[in-house]
Structure formats: C-alpha cells, structure tokens
Amino acid sequence: MKIKEPSIYTTGKIAKLCSVSIRTVARWIESDQLKAFRLPGESTEYRVTHKDLLEFLITFGLPYEHIEDEPVFSVLLVDDDPNTTKAVTSALKGIEAQTTLEVVPDLMSGAIQVGLLKPFLFLVDLKLDGPDGFHLLEILKGNETFDETNIIVLSTAKSNSKLGAKLKKIGVDTVMKKPVKTQDIKKNITALIS
C-alpha cells in the first residue's frame, strides 16, 4: 500500500489541489481561515495537515471529493510478550501516519485475524504455539489477497543465516531480533509506509 496523498501539505500542493495561486493559500493561512504551522527555525514555509485542509474545504464550501481520505495502516501483532506489545504501541504513536493495532497472543488467532483484517503489516513471532509459522507465511505470500501485506518476523533465535535465507525466500520483509526496541520498530514501519 502506498500513500497517494501526503499527510502534510505544502502551500504549493494546496494551491494546485484548489486551482488557486500560492499567494492565495498564504492569505488564507495569514487570515487564520486555514490552520497551518511553520517549519522549525526561521522558515517562512507553511505546512497544513490533511485534517485541517479537509476542514477548511468543507467549511468554505470548496470541492473536497478529489482529495482522498488519509489512509489508515492496520498492524497485526502476533506475540504474547507484553514488552513487545508496549514497544510496538510506542512506535506506532511516534509515526505520523494513522495506524490501528490489533494484538493476538498465538499463531492460530493470528492466522484467523490476518485473514479477516488483511493488514498493511503483519508482525509475528514464529515461536508461539499454534500452526507452523513458516507454513502460514508461505500461504500468505502465495496468496495475491495479501500482496500488500508486509511481514516482519520477530525472532529470539541467535543470528542464523539459514533462518534468514528461508524467510527471505518466503518473502518476509524484515527479521527483527527480540527483544525489539521501539526506535527500530518505528524505523522499519516508517520505511514500509513510505
């Protein structure tokens, strides 16, 4: 899944979307009709959030149907470790994109939920009780329904090139060693979103 429109808009992008000049957009901002913020430092550039732009367009009766809703990235975490859940939750709070998180404690529940949710990201610890995790990943990657589902495997195993090669062959996006760190999860998820 790719973001078709940015979550943050420049005045130039807004001008193009609204078929007006950049100066007109700047006037809307300066007259407090359109909420905006400046970039840090001594920048004179403005930025507008997706929500504020939609609110402005609706309030002033301007067309907004051509601006897509901001995408929501669903994340399914299959893990029974509360520390991992805490790290993933913290990482998602630090990401600018809208996300949802579903947590299940075992592979059987994970297999059911991944089929129901078809998440953007499937984070899974393969060492949990339940069906064969490798087989589950092979099924997911072999089914075009899940073409847009990214997979990160959480592993307690020591560095194992055979494991890594097997997971790469299946089509896993990333393997992360447990215990996972919030900043590492955030970095990996941000890379997948962009």
pLDDT tens digits, residue range 153-183? 998 776 667 777 888 888 899 999 899 999 9
* CATH no. of 72-193: 3.40.50.2300
Enter the pTM of the model: 0.65
Residue 70 pLDDT greater than 80, yes or no: no
Predicted pLDDT of residue 160: 64
Q: What is the dihedral of CA 53, 55, 56, 59, to 10 degrees?
A: 160
Percent of the chain whose predicted confidence (pLDDT) is above 70: 91
Is residue 85 a contact partner of residue 77, using CB atoms and an 8 Å limit?
A: yes
Q: In what order do the strands lie in the sheet with 8-10?
A: 8-10, 46-49, 37-38
* Domain range list for the chain: 8-59, 72-193
Residue 144 Cα to chain centre, angstroms: 20
